[in-house]
Structure formats: C-alpha cells, structure tokens
A and B are shown apart, each in its own frame.
Chain A
C-alpha cells in the first residue's frame, strides 16, 4: 500500500486502498456475524424441536413406495436409496425432455425461416403461444385436462393391439431378447465401428484423390443393414412382451406412467419454444455475405449449409442451447406438482415430511442441481475455448 509520493497523501479515509480494505473487512465481519447468528438460531430451533442433525437418516427405512423406479426399490429400502431413485427419475425425464425439445425446437426454428409464409407463421405462433404460458400451467393441463380424461383401461385407445393408451398411462410391448440375440448386438457394435472407420477412410480418400464418398448414405446403410441382416439370419431371436388386459388393468409390457408423459410433453413443448428462437437467431446471425461468398465460389447449397452456415450458427446456438438444457433440468423439479417421483418430489417432499431433516435434505437437493450446473458450465467453457473465433 505504499505510495510513491507519500507527502501528497490526503486524509486516511480518502485513500482508496484504505477504503477498499475497510469495506472488505466490514463485509467479512457482517458475513461472519450473519453466519454465527443463523447457526445459533438454527441449532436452538432444532434442539427445541428435538431434531438431530446429520446424515444418519439416510440409512433408515423409508417405508413408502414409489410408482416409477429405475432400480430395485421397495418400502423397505433406505432413504439413501430414495435419493438415488429420485435422482435417476430426474435424469430420466430430463434426458427424454432434452432429446424431444431439441428435435422440436430445431424443426420449429428452421420452419420459422421457411419461405412458405403459412409454415413460418405457424412456427411463430407455436413459439409465441407456448413460451408465454407458465410451464406449471402446461404441466397441469396435460396431466389433469388431457391424460386424466383418457378412458379407463377397459376402454383403452389402442394402436395395432400393441400400444394402449388409457388413464393409467401408455402401455407398450417390451422387447425380450432370446438366446442368440447377442449376435445382433455385436453386429450393431461392429456396424458402429465400421461407420467410424468409413468416415475416417472417406476423409483420407478425399484428401488423397479428391473423391468424396456418400458417407451419410453408406453409413446409414451399414448401421441399419448389418444388424438387420444378422438379426434375420439368426432367426429373429427377439420376442415381444405385449401388454394385455387382465382384470381392471394391463399386465406385461412397459408402462409409461401418465405423470412422466405429462411432464415430458410439457417440458419438451415449453423448452422447444425457446430453442426454436435460439436456432432462428443463430442461423440469422450468420451474415448474408457468407452465403453470397460461398455461392460466388460456386459451392453447392448443401455444402454451403454444412461447411459455412451450420458451423458459424452453432457457435451462437450451442452456449444458449446449453443454458436451455440446464433450465429444463431445473424445471423438471415441477414434477412434484403432479406427483412424478423426481428428486424434489420424493426427497425434498416425502422424505423431508417424514424425517424433518430440512437442512440436510434441502442442502443435498440443491447440491445435486448445483453440481449439474457446474459440470455443464465447465463443459461449456471447454467448448467455447475450443471454438473461440481467432481474432486480432
């Protein structure tokens, strides 16, 4: 904190360096005081209510059942297992939502730029309608107004007598691999490897001779053809467990519970309206001069799109897209409003009500979301650093 001309020094309280120190010291003191106050109050309150702190409750028996579990779970499982079940359910609906929202969002975003006036208007209407209605309203609408209004299992809507839609959810046939199905899986793995090899070879071939192979078409052929051929040759070793009506409900097959469907629908439709806007603005952010220059050197339309427009649009799109994905993951916590057993519903909801361990449970729940945010942001920074446009 030495100054070169100490004789010129004014009063101490006008020295910016001293001021900065004092302000920060005060801030530190204030924070410390706040924390001490909160901790004493909390401890006193917890004692008054007879709640013991700590994570010991995670080993206790939960005693309640969960309608959708991706891992084995029963009422005898521990609260720790409840946490994992809830987390997996959150990740499941988030993953499904991200895929669907991306597909719908890109389709609508591109449709907004269509030269067809009607299509562009329709896409714009989609965006304006769905992004301006609260997600919670949309979730409740799909769940209570649409899915709960479906017929009972006996009057199910059915498609090919294999898919059944009713108030209990969507029942689908489940694939049951028979002996010998492994060969098909191996063929699929082989096909993936072959496609990777093909694309590497095609790149080398083009560099060496200039000849470009139709990689996409060949790749698709290999990816579908090879496993299919093996599957047929080995005698179609796959059976389907088709759901069938037994009494008042269906037995067999896979059931997508209505809670998952409603949440998935609402999350994808809502988030897609934001993604559509991101895609549109991303594509529009590529200056028209870029396309003109590509045309002027006679690049064909599809190459212009693949090599000039998309790479530049993606730099704008990807960071915003990631933040929409994060929003979707966080928004999936609205599951609790319709009883989809996500992390917040089963852990910060039921478990909290049963154990009263408010601090630990809220902290753990928040930590999960924070961790997801941090990991995604870190990946995003990596991407940004990699694709950073080189500037003077």
Chain B
C-alpha cells in the first residue's frame, strides 16, 4: 500500500475512524450506526441509491454536517464542536463538490490562493507558485487568469480539485464529482482523480462511476437507507455481491 509523503500520524494508525455514527434531519434518521475505518493511503468508493446517506456521510467527515451520536477521528484529531479543532481537521481534508462551488468572483488563480493566503498566511509569490504547481497537475495552468464562469464544467471541476490540493491535505473527499458533467468531460476529471490515487492520496469518493471503482478502489462500500450494507474489494464486490440490495443496485446501474 502506498504511503503519503507527509505523514503526520503513525503509519499503523487509521487516517479516519468513525464509530457508531448516527445523524438525523429533524425526525428522519439519515445515518444509522455507521462504523468505518480508513487506512492511510486507502482509496474507497462509496455507492448506493440516491438518498442513501452517502453524501451526508462524507460531509460529516469535515463537519459540513453536524452529527448527533458517535465519534469521528480524522488524522488523530477527534471531532468536537470546537471551531479551532474543526478548522484543524478541515485543513487536512480536501473536498470536491458535485457542483464545483468555485468562487465566481475570483480568478482561477485566486480561487487556489485564497486559503493559502488567509489560513496558511503564505506570501503571495509562494501561494501562487503552489497554485500553479497544482493547476499544472490538473492540466489547466494556461487558464489561471480566467474566471470560473469562463471555463467548461470539466475544467471547473479540475480547478476545484487543484484548489483543494493547494492546502496539501492528507485526505480528499469527492462528493459525486462527475454527476453534474457532460459525458465528454467526465473522463478528463476521472483521469486527474486516477493520477491522484496513483500518487497515494487517501481518497473517499462518492460516485457512480463503476469503471473508476474497478480501476483504483481498494474497497467499495455500498450504502442504503443510511447504513453500510456491504463493503468489499472491487473484485469481490462486483463479481460476488452478497446482499440482495447490492445485487439489485448493481444490476440497475450496470444493466443498461
């Protein structure tokens, strides 16, 4: 298993551990008794029908959603209500959204520099250098001075990936990163994600791209009705699904 180059927690300690996580929206029980451990460098794909709680789960990991019961530890830091601690966790966790959520009033370069400037307090030149380095990696450095609105969906999503990487996170969360894209743009984003996986980034990825799951995932997790139904390496998961629900889901998603 590959390791990240900037390890902060001991290698044997899990990158993320979730115990007994429960969450409600009002009276609706969205996440039910979730237990999950993610090792350093592990690549996990989470799938499941819509409304199964998969997005909510990864949004809990950087406290975009608040949970009511259970324990979340990210890179050795336990999640509490403390704002400073939440910010500390978020510095280690990058996130890519379905709808990119780039800042439309800032240029691509500024999108990548803003957190380096205000969180890491880096000099402008250094921030720009880091930004260009990652924009280079997602192959969009030539668009650095454009505004998000001037880019295609695929390009915007690659910028969003670069923006998250600029904080040099230990973990990357992907929340359906290709669902809002036109078919011809999906590949350019997936290519970047595959490369990232090859470099040993710890990744949790909510997606329906089963091809991606087969190529890079160490483990595929299937969720339904707010609970983890089944988890297995892709080989086992796709060829010998255990539960009926998983089989039905796979036949629906791969069937057509």
A/B contact in complex, CB under 8 angstroms: yes
Chain A interface residues toward B at CB < 8 A:
206-212, 287, 289-290, 292-301, 303, 307-308, 311-312, 315, 387, 389-392
- By Cβ-Cβ distance, the 8 closest A-B pairs, closest first, are A293-B101, A207-B124, A298-B90, A390-B147, A296-B95, A289-B101, A297-B115, A391-B149
Supposing A300-B118, A307-B114 touch, asked if A206 and B124 sit within 8 A by C-beta, the answer is yes
CA–CA, A316 and B158, complex, Å: 28
**Residue pair A389, B147 in contact (C-beta under 8 Å):** yes
| A390 contact set on B, CB distance < 8 A | 146-147, 149-150
| B152 contact set on A, CB distance < 8 A | 392
Beyond A315-B105, A389-B104, 6 extra complex contacts between A and B, CB < 8 Å: A208-B125, A210-B120, A292-B64, A293-B102, A295-B63, A297-B163
Task: Select from chain B the residue with minimum beta-carbon distance to A288.
Answer: B101
Q: Which label, helix, strand, loop or mixed, suits the secondary structure of the A interface?
A: helix
CB distance from B161 to the nearest CB of A (A): 12
**Residue pair A210, B149 in contact (C-beta under 8 Å):** no
| A307 contact set on B, CB distance < 8 A | 114, 118
Task: Select from chain B the residue with minimum beta-carbon distance to A304.
Answer: B118
| B105 contact set on A, CB distance < 8 A | 311-312, 315, 387, 389
| A311 contact set on B, CB distance < 8 A | 105
Sorting the interface of chain B by its residue count into under 10, 10 to 19, 20 to 34 or 35 or more gives 35 or more
**Residue pair A312, B104 in contact (C-beta under 8 Å):** yes
Q: Can you spell out 28 A-B residue pairs with CB atoms less than 8 angstroms apart?
A: A206-B123, A207-B123, A207-B125, A208-B123, A210-B117, A210-B124, A289-B97, A289-B101, A292-B97, A292-B101, A295-B62, A296-B64, A296-B94, A297-B94, A297-B115, A298-B90, A298-B91, A300-B87, A308-B103, A311-B105, A312-B103, A312-B104, A389-B104, A389-B149, A390-B146, A390-B149, A392-B149, A392-B151
| A389 contact set on B, CB distance < 8 A | 104-105, 147, 149
**Residue pair B164, A299 in contact (C-beta under 8 Å):** no
**Residue pair B101, A209 in contact (C-beta under 8 Å):** no
**Residue pair B64, A295 in contact (C-beta under 8 Å):** yes
B167 at the interface (CB under 8 A from A): yes
CB distance from A212 to the nearest CB of B (A): 6
B99 at the interface (CB under 8 A from A): yes
**Residue pair B62, A296 in contact (C-beta under 8 Å):** yes
**Residue pair A303, B118 in contact (C-beta under 8 Å):** yes
Chain B residues 146 to 194 lying within 8 A of chain A, measured CB to CB, are 146-147, 149-152, 160, 163-164, 166-167
CA–CA, A287 and B87, complex, Å: 21
**Residue pair B103, A298 in contact (C-beta under 8 Å):** no
B77 at the interface (CB under 8 A from A): no
| A287 contact set on B, CB distance < 8 A | 101
| A297 contact set on B, CB distance < 8 A | 90, 94, 114-115, 119, 163-164, 166-167
**Residue pair A210, B123 in contact (C-beta under 8 Å):** yes
| A294 contact set on B, CB distance < 8 A | 103
| A209 contact set on B, CB distance < 8 A | 123
**Residue pair A290, B149 in contact (C-beta under 8 Å):** no
CB distance from B206 to the nearest CB of A (A): 14
CA–CA, A130 and B97, complex, Å: 42
| B99 contact set on A, CB distance < 8 A | 289
B122 at the interface (CB under 8 A from A): yes
Task: Select from chain A the residue with minimum beta-carbon distance to B160.
Answer: A293
**Residue pair A290, B114 in contact (C-beta under 8 Å):** no
Task: Select from chain A the residue with minimum beta-carbon distance to B63.
Answer: A295
Interface centre among A212, A297, A315, A391 (most CB of B within 10 A): A297
| A296 contact set on B, CB distance < 8 A | 62, 64, 90, 93-95, 97, 164
Task: Select from chain B the residue with minimum beta-carbon distance to A298.
Answer: B90
CA–CA, A209 and B115, complex, Å: 15
Chain B residues 98 to 115 lying within 8 A of chain A, measured CB to CB, are 99, 101-105, 114-115
CA–CA, A312 and B167, complex, Å: 24
| A315 contact set on B, CB distance < 8 A | 105
Interface centre among B63, B117, B125 (most CB of A within 10 A): B117
CB distance from B134 to the nearest CB of A (A): 13
